[in-house]
Each structure stands twice: as C-alpha cells, then as structure tokens.
Amino acid sequence: MIEWTTALSTGVELLDEHHKAIFQWVAKLENAAADKHTLLGAYAITRLKNNAEEHFAAEESLMKSAGYPDLAEHMAEHATFRAKLRELHVNSVGKDISADTVRFLRNWLTEHVAKTDMAYVPFLKRQVAQ
Ligand SMILES: [Fe+2]
Ligand SMILES: [Fe+2]
C-alpha cells in the first residue's frame, strides 16, 4: 500500500494535497486490481491521470517561478509518466489493471516524490522566504 507521510512534505500545502490525492488513487487502483473490479480500476486510472496532470502543471509552474535549476529534467520525468498514464487510460477500458502495472505506478510515484520532488523543496522554500 502506498502512503503519504510528513517525510514527503514539500512545504507547499497545495502540492502536498495533490500528492496525498494521487497516492489515494493509486491505493484505490491497487484494491480494484486485487478484486478484479474492472470498472473501479478504469475509474481510478482516470482520476489518477487527471490528478497527476493537474499536479504536474502546478508543480512545474512553481518550479519555474522559483527559477529551479533542474526544471528541464524534472519536466522530462513528468512527460514520460504522463504519456504512460495516457496509454494505461486508453487500455483500461473493459480490462483489469494488472498487478505489474500497479507496482510500476506505485514505485514510480514513491521514487519521484521522495527523490525528484524533494530536490526542489529548498528552492521553493527559499522563494517563499523572500
Ligand atoms: Fe509531485
Ligand atoms: Fe514532480
């Protein structure tokens, strides 16, 4: 099960709320996959895709205004994941989400938030303090 903890806090409430919601949709997706609940799985992937798109846009715009130096690499990670979510979304109609897919999403999100997102925290904090 994927869970948000305060260790993953960005110091920006909006981004933390986004992360929590994204993790919740992955957890729902995990349950749907385990129960072979096709409709719930398709719904959860739709919500996950929409939440992630909204979140990535918000995060990218905050990083941009903070002059974050690794913006391009960060945006490239988002772009790859966005494409993967779109593909999963298209393929989710009438099909169960596999345990492998859930594992991939969980690992990618945990890794991305814990490493890639945490790297911008000092830069965003510095900007807020100014
Ligand atoms: Fe994020
Ligand atoms: Fe990110």
Full set of structural domains in the chain with CATH? 12-129 (1.20.120.50)
**What is the pTM (predicted TM-score) of this model?**
0.94
Q: Which ligand gives the minimal distance to the CA of 78?
A: 2
Q: Measure 59 CA to ligand 2 centroid, in angstroms.
A: 6
For residues 96-122, average pLDDT? 95
Among 42, 18, 13, 25, smallest CA distance to 105 is for 25
pLDDT given at position 127: 73
CA distance 40 to 58: 27
pLDDT one-digit tens code per residue, 64-104 = 999 999 999 999 999 999 999 999 999 888 888 899 999 99
CB burial of 37-63 (b: ≥16 within 10 Å; e: otherwise) equals bbebbbbbbebbbebbeebbeebeebb
> Please, what is the average pLDDT of the chain?
93
Q: Measure 55 CA to ligand 1 centroid, in angstroms.
A: 7
